[in-house]
Amino acid sequence: MIPTEQIPLGTRIPSSLHAVSVSLPTMADVIGYEKREPAILALMNTGYPRFVKHECIREIERFWQSLFDCPNDSIWLTASEEIAQQLAVHLDCKESKYLRHQNVSGLRIPDDEQLNQQSKLFLQHVGGYLCSRQAEDYLVSNQIRKAQFPEETFEGDSEAKFIGVLQPLLNVADPNDIALSNSGMNAIYAAFQAVNAVQRPKGRNSWIKLGWLYADTMHILDKLSIQRESNVDVFDVFDVEQLESLLSERPESFAGIITETPTNPLIQTMDLDRIRSLATEYGLYLVLDPTIASPANVDVSRHADILVNSLTKYAANQGDVIMGAIAVTPHCPDRNLILAEIKEHAIPPYQRVIDRLASQIDGYLPLIEQINASTIRIVEYLEEHPKIENVHWALESKSRENFEKIARSPLSVGGMISFTLKDDIEQFYDRFSVSKGPSFGMIHSLACPFMYLAHFDLVSTDTGRAYLNSIGLNPELIRFSIGAEPAEDIIEALNRALES
């Protein structure tokens, strides 16, 4: 059901302790959040779990500061002992100290602004934060919280339950060819490290980023590659000639190509047949992420060496689970070594998370079918509206032919669109009464001014805006994830916001 009034700033979406989104109902709220304005931050006790420390994590930190020496130091709780050790290496801080208590690991560091920022970004990029449900269980076991947040979970073999749904979508013959991770971003990190492990001995240390990728995907490549200065951006996904020219100039430099199919936020699909051929010819691994449309709508398995998918989107359709999956396809070179490396670097999901996802997985495919039908109607409405400048979606003219080659059916269009307005974004966004915040792929429709949330450093300067426009990204773009509400209700909410 579409809200009739704006959801207050800082409210969890959905109303679960483990919600992955948070309400940012006005442009002033979005900008204030990005500028770290105290009045805005005071109302935001929650946020997307890879970006904002969960309240249960903050409670453990306060508890640990009372247990250990140096109570004024900073504590960063990690998803595993290995991640804590990786963080220590990343920081290269002699004063850091590994901590562990009742199966919860972390790193203590001096309370230094730069070190804290480095820690936050590293854990954000690699999906390294302690899971909120594990943090909650720790608090309950130590009588700091009285009980778990009540929620439905699957009783039985939870992993087998949803792997049975995922396996045909990822198109692998053996369920052991799928590795689970604690987040979609950790899935990308594990694939990145696995390819590096195979390609680095061959002197292949560079990556090609095809298209404007999700921010943390770019950060992993830009910050964690050995020769990050030699990575290359190819922003125009349709310019395969540029890609071919680049490969012919440096035929033995690149480890892999990574891209989203379709891309985020322009919903563009490239010519995967040609790109697959180039990757094979030049010895690159092709890593594909079909999360935006979901593997239930597109099959890219015959093109990819490695598939990465955020199960947070669509599979976990209630909006309260963070999890990822990585699949190694049958034609992937050195596939056994790649798979072993992936499983070495992927952080296994916490069991309660697995049980929660298994309770939702039966709603995955019906949700996809419903939002596909709604998307077609909503795009038709927007394309005819005089206040809409551009609508980006799977069947946009530039992408249509490429997308239809990977779509599972003519109606498999996905639930993600983005659009720009002829008028000012603020009036529309502030009046649009759907849920508004980060993430996508849940039963609730969810809108956000995507470039403001993902790239505020660029949106907030004239130089940055000029750069975005030069590569075809309008800073004022609205990204809209269509949910399970009736299409006519969504259109009515759009109409109210546009006709004001």
Lowest-confidence region among 48-62, 134-148, 407-421: 48-62
Residues 187, 346: contact at Cβ < 8 Å? yes
Mark 348-378 as b/e (b = at least 16 C-beta within 10 Å): ebbebbbbbbbbbbebbeebbebbbebbeeb
Q: Are residues 217 and 292 in the same domain?
A: yes
Nearest-angstrom CA–CA distance, 356 and 158: 8
The pTM for the full model equals: 0.95
E strand residue ranges, 414-470:
416-421, 435-436, 446-448
**Quick one: DSSP state of residue 328?**
E
Given the structure tokens 């505020």, which residue do they identify? 456
Tens digit of each residue's pLDDT (9 = 90 or more) over 468-483? 999 999 999 999 999 9
Answer whether residue 257 is part of any domain.
Answer: yes
Strand partners, 472: none
- What pLDDT score does 267 carry? 98
Residue 65 has pLDDT above 90, yes or no: no
Residue 381 has pLDDT above 70, yes or no: yes
Q: Are residues 482 and 407 in the same domain?
A: yes
Answer whether residue 40 is part of any domain.
Answer: no
Q: Residue 147: left (phi > 0), alpha (psi -120 to 50), or beta? A: beta
Given the structure tokens 């093109």, which residue do they identify? 303
Answer whether residue 415 is part of any domain.
Answer: yes
Answer whether residue 14 is part of any domain.
Answer: no
Residues, the chain, total? Answer: 500
Out of 310, 340, 359, a domain closes at 359
Residue 3 has pLDDT above 80, yes or no: no
Mean pLDDT for 309-333 is 97
85 by DSSP, 3-state: which?
helix
Nearest to 453 by CA among 441, 463, 440: 440
Q: Are residues 388 and 468 in the same domain?
A: yes
Structure tokens at 337: 């070594």
Nearest-angstrom CA–CA distance, 421 and 56: 40
3-state secondary structure 167-181: HHHHCCCCHHHEEEE
Q: Are residues 346 and 370 in the same domain?
A: no
Nearest-angstrom CA–CA distance, 282 and 276: 10
Sheet holding 74-78, edge to edge: 74-78, 104-109, 97-101
Q: How confident is the model at residue 500 (pLDDT cuts 50, 70, 90)?
A: low
Q: Are residues 291 and 218 in the same domain?
A: yes
Q: What is the CATH number of the domain that holds 433?
A: 3.90.1150.10
Answer whether residue 12 is part of any domain.
Answer: no
Cα angle vertex 317, ends 432, 350, to 5°?
A: 130
Residue 322 has pLDDT above 80, yes or no: yes
Task: Tell me the HSE value of 201 on the side-chain side, using a 13 A CA sphere.
Answer: 3
Q: Is the peptide bond before 25 cis (omega within 30 degrees of 0)?
A: no
Q: Which helix (H) or strand (E) holds 388?
A: strand 388-392
- What pLDDT score does 261 carry? 96
Out of 331, 359, 387, a domain closes at 359
Tens digit of each residue's pLDDT (9 = 90 or more) over 82-100? 999 999 999 999 999 999 9
Residues 301, 307: contact at Cβ < 8 Å? yes
Q: What is the CATH number of the domain that holds 186?
A: 3.40.640.10
Q: Are residues 117 and 163 in the same domain?
A: no
Give CA torsion, residues 405, 418, 32, 314, to 10 deg: -50
Residues 358, 214: contact at Cβ < 8 Å? no
Q: Are residues 135 and 73 in the same domain?
A: yes
Whole-number average pLDDT of the chain: 95
Mean pLDDT for 192-214 is 96
Q: Are residues 198 and 342 in the same domain?
A: yes
Q: Which pairing describes strands 232-234 and 285-289: parallel, antiparallel, or unpaired?
A: unpaired
Answer whether residue 9 is part of any domain.
Answer: no
Q: Are residues 376 and 333 in the same domain?
A: no
Total domains in the chain come to 3
Question: Which structural domain range is residue 308 located in?
Answer: 158-359
Tens digit of each residue's pLDDT (9 = 90 or more) over 217-248? 988 888 888 777 889 999 999 999 999 999 99
Number of neighbouring beta carbons within 10 Å of residue 499? 9
Q: Are residues 175 and 282 in the same domain?
A: yes
Answer whether residue 379 is part of any domain.
Answer: yes
Percentage of the chain modeled with pLDDT above 70: 99
Q: Is the peptide bond before 38 cis (omega within 30 degrees of 0)?
A: no
Mean pLDDT for 305-322 is 97
Residue 150 has pLDDT above 80, yes or no: yes
- What pLDDT score does 306 carry? 98
Number of neighbouring beta carbons within 10 Å of residue 456? 18
Q: Are residues 198 and 345 in the same domain?
A: yes
Q: Are residues 165 and 196 in the same domain?
A: yes
Nearest-angstrom CA–CA distance, 499 and 374: 21
Answer whether residue 4 is part of any domain.
Answer: no
Q: How confident is the model at residue 71 (pLDDT cuts 50, 70, 90)?
A: confident
